[in-house]
Amino acid sequence: MTFGELGSRFPEAGGLYVYLREAWGGRVAFLYGWQCLLVMDPGVTAALAIGVAPYLVVLWPAAAGHERALALATVWILALADMVGLRPSSRALNVLTGVKALAIAGVVVGAFTIGAGSWSHFSPWLARRSGAPPLAEAVGLGLIGAFYSFGGFWEASRVAGEMRDPRRELPRALVLGVAAVTAIYALTTLAFVYLVPVEEATSGAGFARRAGEALFGAAGARALAAAVAISAAASVMALLLMAPRLYVAMGRDGLFPSELAALHPRTGAPVRGTALLAAIASVFVLTGSFAQVVALFMCTTMVFVGLAAAGLAVVRRRSGSAAAGVTRAPGYPATPALFVLLVFAVVVLIALARPVPALAGFVLMLIGLPVYGMLSRRGKIARSAERGLAE
């Protein structure tokens, strides 16, 4: 609801970059874009590709031992698909998302109707198991997975400039999307634990294999692996479709090379930005594990998300709460305040659980400060990037 109002107030390409620029000024907005290009966008892309590789091996056992090659192929095949333009890639993404939703619904319904599960699998949650980590660390590790499942919902606002009626469509898409994903996540978790005892969750692929066998028998492992692969492919494609629109907005403000802002003359797709994102993601695929990559970008990303949400108060104070045509966040100021508190609590818990990757992410982000100073001294920054607090 908070980002729905921000998107309604600033219905242009760029998403969080625009909101941070308008609320906190060009320096903060640049740091967000900088960490998106170097940390978050390629990190999410790489983590999804690395995560899906073991499931592809279940479908294609001969590829065992070549998981990184499968992850690289996933990144580039979907990046090329997004380079054909917004309309055809959006249609393909809609198809993938529809198949994904049907597959997840089938797993949830099947788990409680035909699956060989048991409600007794939930009983270990009532007591701390021997060897379990401290509560704060355990919650932090759990939140990494939970936030990873729906984190990034705000990225839909990056394509606001290409929507027919973003002031109305974007708030609706954000609210309905988050509500749907939250319900799906909770139901899928219940279904999986019902099918497989929680102590047997030694790995994602292994857990899915056991759940598939409990659901569909011998063929279940491949069926569930296919569902996970389709789900991850849809997520990667969505990110590769939306992320480069931020580079376009920043390129037009003089904060990124103008080449990144160039759109293909025929398809209108940011081909160069998409290719650069895929290239950096490929480096992450080749050098990191899933857990390392996720912890690297999660903390810095959530800090900027919290700052953008808090910026709604700054924007309202500056321009008023009843701007024409704006969809306002219900329950303001409690709505953004609760979200900001939750976000920064998650940042602290994740940083405590994975301190080294989290620190590395902040270091990569802060390297952007001298880069911004250099651009400012050279007069490269367009006036639109200097709005916000600078005014």
What's residue 334's pLDDT? 92
pLDDT band at residue 43, thresholds of 50, 70 and 90? confident
Residue 266 DSSP symbol: T
Q: What is the pLDDT of residues 162-218, one digit of tens each?
A: 667 777 777 888 888 888 888 888 888 888 888 888 777 666 667 777 888 887 777
Q: State yes or no: pLDDT of 85 exceeds 50.
A: yes
Token pair 């929507």 is found at 163
pLDDT band at residue 387, thresholds of 50, 70 and 90? very low
Reading phi first (left if > 0) and then psi (alpha if -120 to 50, else beta), residue 132 is in beta
Average pLDDT of the chain to the nearest whole number: 80
pLDDT band at residue 340, thresholds of 50, 70 and 90? very high
Long-range contact set of residues 299-302: C-beta below 8 Å, sequence gap at least 24:
299/347, 299/350, 299/351, 299/358, 299/361, 299/362, 300/35, 300/39, 300/40, 300/361, 300/362, 300/364, 300/365, 301/35, 301/39, 301/40, 301/151, 302/147, 302/151, 302/343, 302/344, 302/346, 302/347, 302/350
Question: What single string gives the DSSP state of each residue in 27-41?
Answer: HHHHHHHHHIIIIIH
CB atoms within 10 A of CB 334: 10
What's residue 390's pLDDT? 41
- Residue closest to 314 by CA, chosen among 336, 287, 338: 336
Contact present, 314 and 24 (Cβ < 8 Å) = yes
Q: Which residue segments constitute the domains of the chain, with CATH numbers given? A: 2-390 (1.20.1740.10)
**Which whole number is the average pLDDT over 124-135?**
69
Q: What is the pLDDT of residues 280-325, one digit of tens each?
A: 999 988 887 777 777 778 888 889 999 999 999 998 888 765 566 7
What's residue 26's pLDDT? 82
Q: How far apart are CA 353 and CA 348, in angstroms?
A: 9
Q: How far apart are CA 187 and CA 182, in angstroms?
A: 9
Q: What is the pLDDT of residues 94-129, one digit of tens each?
A: 888 888 888 888 888 888 888 778 888 877 665 666
CB atoms within 10 A of CB 119: 9
What's residue 344's pLDDT? 86
Query: Which positions ≥6 away from 364 have C-beta within 8 Å?
Result: 35, 38, 39, 300
Q: Indicate yes or no: pTM above 0.85.
A: no
What's residue 261's pLDDT? 65
Q: What is the pLDDT of residues 6-39, one digit of tens each?
A: 887 887 766 788 889 889 988 898 898 888 888 8
Question: What single string gives the DSSP state of each residue in 277-326?
Answer: HHHHHHHHHHH--HHHHHHHHHHHHHHHHHHHHHHHHHHHHHH-S--TT-
**Which whole number is the average pLDDT over 59-71?**
87
Q: How far apart are CA 251 and CA 64, in angstroms?
A: 41
Hey, what are 376's tokens? Answer: 């400012």
Q: State yes or no: pLDDT of 153 exceeds 50.
A: yes
Hey, what are 167's tokens? Answer: 């002031």
Lowest mean pLDDT among 60-74, 223-237, 239-253: 239-253
Q: How far apart are CA 228 and CA 363, in angstroms?
A: 33
Q: State yes or no: pLDDT of 385 exceeds 50.
A: no
